[in-house]
Amino acid sequence: MSSHGFPRPDMFLANPGKTPVAWKQWIALFQNYMVATDHTELLAARKKAILLHCLGAEGQRLFYTLTEDAVVFDENDDVYFKAVKMLEEYFQPAVSVIAERYRFRQRSQLPGESIGENLAALRELITDCNFRDPYEMIRDQIVEKTSVNKIQEKLLMKSTLRLTKTLEIARQVEKALRDFSSLAVHTNTVNTMKSKRTNFKYKERPTTNKMKTRSCYRCGFKDHLPNNENCKAKNAKCRRCNKVGHFENVCKNTPLQHIDVASNQIFHTTNSSHYDNAIHVELCINSTVLSFLVYTGSPVTLLSRYLYRKYFSNLKLMKPRVTLTSHKINFIFHANLSYNGKLCNTIIHVVKEGLSLLGVHCIT
């Protein structure tokens, strides 16, 4: 339940065992709750009842075992303040100032911890140290125990230094180091990209001795070089790739594939009236829409030289690796072909004339 919209603090000790938080921290939460809900003006007896209710079942049980004899009260203390002092005497025993000061002096700035986080930890530890000047002690602790050497160097250069100035310098150095780190990462990335562009390894050219031991790439013999006019393979036709200028045993070209394609005058006719009942599809080739005849008898896709020059002259032509027995293909080119939202990259063969033909390799 809550009052005036403010939830009550968690019960201090609902069950036997260790308290979830220290008494000093819990009573501060409770007093803030009383102020926020305008309960400070209530009768002392009612404030005491609210305090005991928030203690929890185990906390109330312990309270009723306490006696007032062990506590020193002021003359004007009412029943509420007496209850608070009795609970404080039980749950917050006297602390050792020496131990608290030792813990304070052992606190160093942790790696990655900001100066603000370090300051909050020091302020919490110094509360029970009873130093005459706590601000001076926090200043000295920051100077001595900071984990950032640059901050320590800057602070030691000052002859006089207050805590406010100490925090100002420390935060300035922190920000400068963060900015420098970000800049260094960016610079290293740029330098890495530049080094990848310049670190090329150039192959050495073969020496004269190596050139002398080379064999003729036309015939394979080692007694002469390829430019020798007496080489028998100079005018010979390779049976592997059908090119002139070398023997089959030294050929490095991919062998030509001979494919039979039943043309039925498809490759040579310019009149499509014979195929009015055939299947035609509208295909988009590199953003250009053209009509193609679907022909499952052809393993390749064909396009006339006229259409290539008209729409695709900007695409690079290459020599084909296959020959068709029904038609001579001069060149091929790569293009993106799309139909009904499906896209594929395929090879289109350019022929002298004829219909645009969609081969079986594009039909799924």
User: How much is the pTM?
Assistant: 0.38
The more confident residue out of 139 and 269 is 139
> For residue 76, what pLDDT is reported?
83
CATH H-level, domain 272-362: superfamily: Acid Proteases (2.40.70.10)
H or E element: which one contains 185?
Answer: helix 163-198
> For residue 171, what pLDDT is reported?
93
Q: Average pLDDT of 330-351?
A: 84
Alpha-carbon span 133 to 136, nearest angstrom: 6
Q: Which range, 169-173, 235-239, 292-296, 305-309, is most confident?
A: 169-173
Q: Worst-scoring range by mean pLDDT, 141-145, 197-201, 206-210, 241-245? A: 206-210
Q: Average pLDDT of 269-291?
A: 70
The pLDDT-based confidence of 161 (bands split at 50, 70, 90) is very high
The more confident residue out of 196 and 153 is 153
> For residue 102, what pLDDT is reported?
94
Q: Are 233 and 319 in contact (CB under 8 A)?
A: no
The pLDDT tens digits of the residues spanning 18-77 come to 888 888 889 999 999 999 988 888 899 999 999 999 999 999 999 989 887 777 788 788
Q: Average pLDDT of 180-197?
A: 70
Helices 44-55 and 23-36: crossing angle in degrees, nearest 10, is: 130
> For residue 273, what pLDDT is reported?
47
Alpha-carbon span 59 to 90, nearest angstrom: 11
Q: Using alpha carbons only, what angle is made at residue 249 by residues 243 and 255, rounded to the nearest 5 degrees?
A: 50
The pLDDT-based confidence of 202 (bands split at 50, 70, 90) is low
Percentage of the chain lying above the pLDDT 90 cut: 27
The pLDDT tens digits of the residues spanning 214-232 come to 788 888 888 888 888 888 8
In the predicted model, is pLDDT for residue 354 greater than 90? Answer: no
Q: What is the DSSP letter of 94?
A: P
H or E element: which one contains 322?
Answer: strand 322-324
The more confident residue out of 264 and 76 is 76
Q: What is the mean pLDDT of the chain?
A: 81
In the predicted model, is pLDDT for residue 170 greater than 50? Answer: yes
Would you kindly state where each structural domain of the chain is located, as residue ranges?
Answer: 2-91, 97-178, 226-255, 272-362
Nearest to 283 by CA among 349, 332, 341: 341
Distances, alpha carbon 79 to alpha carbons 58, 75, 184, 315, in Å: 20, 12, 65, 97
Q: Average pLDDT of 123-138?
A: 90
244 SS3 class:
strand
In the predicted model, is pLDDT for residue 265 greater than 50? Answer: no
The pLDDT-based confidence of 332 (bands split at 50, 70, 90) is confident
Q: Which range, 58-67, 161-170, 277-286, is most confident?
A: 161-170
> For residue 145, what pLDDT is reported?
93
Q: Average pLDDT of 316-345?
A: 78
